[in-house]
Amino acid sequence: MAALTEEGEAFTELVLEVFRLNGLALEAGERLAGPLGLSSARWQVLGVVDHAPAPVANVARLMGLSRQGVQQTADALERDGFIEYLENPHHRRAKLISMTAKGREALRRVEGRQAIWANRLGAGMNARQLRAAVNGLREARQLLEKDASGSDEA
């Protein structure tokens, strides 16, 4: 059995902390979005298609989610009137997810709630520390993406 190096141990600690943070962030997202008829997953999808209509596969790829999970979320958003599917001029079967006025209103309201929440929590750390944490996480994500695309080796 291979032993962890100092760097390997630190990377493992980082990953475990990200798992914990992800769980707490999703719970917070549910509290912020729930009163508006959204979930964290619905909020994520709306946030992507706010900029421009997009096919399910693109939303999934951008957010690091499964295509099937995004499809189920998008179907639920459509049933509740937050999005509509549009014809995709680039692909006959892959419809585009497009936000409705109801979806845009809900997204703006949750963004307002998120801003208050982020400002309150962000006040507990200075901006330089937060940006350093973001940069470290970005580097770790890029390493994981590179590893996933180039090696099946454990």
What is the spatial distance between Cα 10 and Cα 63, in angstroms, rounded to a whole number?
A: 25
Tens of each residue's pLDDT in the chain, 154 residues: 899 999 999 999 999 999 999 999 999 999 999 999 999 999 999 999 999 999 999 999 998 899 999 999 999 999 999 999 999 988 888 899 999 999 999 999 999 999 999 999 999 999 999 999 999 999 999 999 899 887 655 5
Residue pair 82/42 in contact (Cβ under 8 Å)? The answer is: yes
What is the spatial distance between Cα 119 and Cα 87, in angstroms, rounded to a whole number?
A: 39
Prediction pTM value: 0.84
Give residues with Cβ within 8 angstroms of 74, minimum separation 6. 45, 56, 59, 83, 85, 97
- Looking at the domain 36-118, which fold is it? Arc Repressor Mutant, subunit A (1.10.10)
What are the boundaries of each domain within the chain? 36-118
In this structure, the number of other CB atoms found within 10 A of the CB of residue 56 comes to: 23
